[in-house]
Structure 1
Amino acid sequence: MTIAEPILSAVSLAHASWHEILLRGLENMDAADPAYLPALAADQFLPTQGRLFAAFAQPLDQVKYVLVGEGPYPRAESATGVCFMDGAVGSLWSDAAGGALSKPVNKATSLRNFMKMLLVADGLLDEEGSTGPALAAAAQRARTAADCAETLGHIQDKLHANGFLLLNASLVFRAHVAPVKDAKAWRPFFDTVMQALAAHQPKLILWGKIAADLNKLASVQALPQIVAEHPYNVSFIGNKEMQALFRPMALLRR
């Protein structure tokens, strides 16, 4: 097959250990639906700036966890090609007196709940009272650490250092296409990636229904995993499996 631009150039920006695998995944997508990739290349989609395979900056042999979300953020400034890493978010914390989380974090429901989960996991916040003054006090306690993570980039770096591949079930977002439809089209690609990871036996963390639907693939079923609600659900704050997973990683510290 001939892979159209801008998809081919996006492959070249991934870590070299992934190039052959990504190309094979695209070939498998093309075999399953020959019309999909040419139509995608001619369409407008997120992420932009050639970041379609940005998640694959993590070298293959260093992957210990695969965090799978549903799809890119539906805003150009937010969609980075890396699961859950909102490009519109810089500082994590509010600079206002008595503030807690920054305005961009508060606007991003999933990220806000993820931050609260981390604060609960670190024993700084009670999940039953995770708003208002209690949240502000917890944020202040977190920020007293000399090595406190100040930006979302710090958390991304920490996840990367812990061996995370931050992937979405669908690598693209298009305003006129249902996310579940794009995710289905990317399933042969995802299957190829999981087969390549099989020898490393990473733990999968599947967030939300679209990610959990990947269990239809034998390559996904064969890997150890945790299936959780998507962080846009407030119940995510109290998810004990997520707390236990992330607590040892101390993501709120650089």
Structure 2
Amino acid sequence: MWESDALFELAAEPADTETFAALAQRPLGELVAPDWAGALAGVEDQLRSVLSFLAAEVAAGHPVLPPPSCVLRAFRQPMAAVKVLLVGQDPYPTPGHAVGLSFAVDVSTRPLPRSLINIYRELEADLGIPPRTHGDLSAWAGQGVLLLNRVMSVRAGAAGSHRGKGWEDITTAAITALADRRGPDGAGLPLVAVLWGKDAESVRPLLPGVPAVASAHPSPLSASRGFFGSRPFSRVNELLREQGSSGVTWELPPVP
């Protein structure tokens, strides 16, 4: 039986009537959790520039994913509570899929993305947890798993279309801030990085001294080349316990 083990609840989502243009004008402290606002203050101008770019995309008739209410969702999770950093590439480009958390989709999305199906397959092989029929990973986020895409938006139907538009500076600042919490002797707050694929591996230099679980990406094109059999979930929990932290309850609720 699944039991909730969340340390906190994610903040409520802003109204769906929000626009990227409006987001670009709001104070940073209204867009992200207070401690993230401090960590991202140095790239606030870049963030506003990216949000303005997204507004321009929409104005030009190019749908953007995820919607404004979700684009900064990962940063509404308090930074102080993060103990696992799971790095994704960019959001799913299929309309209705992207929800602002890497690899996750809305609870009603069917069929599930194939990468997520492969994640569930490995979760079952690793910990014996049966795959869920939904793709809502917010229960992981609620335990301090930061589901962070390296690039946090995409033009609908065009994977990778928002690379090089400024998100990399913002997520670099975020990842660096997480690593800095550990201090030079690694005795600070616990942190484990999960790096699936070459894009995720590229952030390793930003995480000096942070233990990492790395493998091939779970996409159908690469999962059989090192993702399957990598046992990431049990390895993350082992590394957390070595740092004096509790592990993550990876079992998701049958119906969120």
Q: Distance in 2 between matches of 1:207 and 1:177?
A: 21
In structure 1, the residue matched to 2:138 is 156
- Residue pair 2:154, 2:161 contacting (<8 A) in 1 also: no
Change over 3 Å in CA distance of 1:239–1:184 after alignment to 2: farther
RMSD, aligned CA: 3.3
Residue identity opposite 2:214 in structure 1: V
- Answer yes or no: is 1:7 the counterpart of 2:24: yes
**Post-superposition offset of 1:170:** 0.2
**Higher relative contact order, structure no. (Cα contacts within 8 Å, ≥ 6 residues apart):** 1
Structure number with greater Rg is: 1
Q: Distance in 1 between matches of 2:26 and 2:146?
A: 20
Percentage of matched positions with identical amino acids: 26
**Post-superposition offset of 1:151:** 4.3
Q: Which of 8, 23, 42 pairs up with 2:56?
A: 42
**Post-superposition offset of 1:6:** 3.3
**Post-superposition offset of 1:188:** 1.7
**Post-superposition offset of 1:180:** 7.5
Relative to the length of structure 2, the TM-score reads 0.67
Count of aligned pairs: 208
Relative to the length of structure 1, the TM-score reads 0.67
- Answer yes or no: is 1:104 the counterpart of 2:122: no
- Answer yes or no: is 1:219 the counterpart of 2:226: no
**Post-superposition offset of 1:179:** 1.6
In structure 2, the residue matched to 1:187 is 168
In structure 1, the residue matched to 2:231 is 240
Specify which structure has the higher proportion of helix: 1
Segment drifting more, 12-21 vs 65-74: 12-21
Change over 3 Å in CA distance of 1:170–1:229 after alignment to 2: same
- Answer yes or no: is 1:84 the counterpart of 2:71: no
In structure 2, the residue matched to 1:252 is 251
In structure 2, the residue matched to 1:119 is 124
In structure 2, the residue matched to 1:67 is 86
Q: Distance in 2 between matches of 1:57 and 1:152?
A: 20
Residue identity opposite 1:115 in structure 2: Y
**Post-superposition offset of 1:29:** 6.2
Change over 3 Å in CA distance of 1:13–1:225 after alignment to 2: same
Instruction: Give the secondary structure class of the aligned counterpart of 1:5.
Output: helix
- Residue pair 1:169, 1:183 contacting (<8 A) in 2 also: no
**Post-superposition offset of 1:177:** 6.5
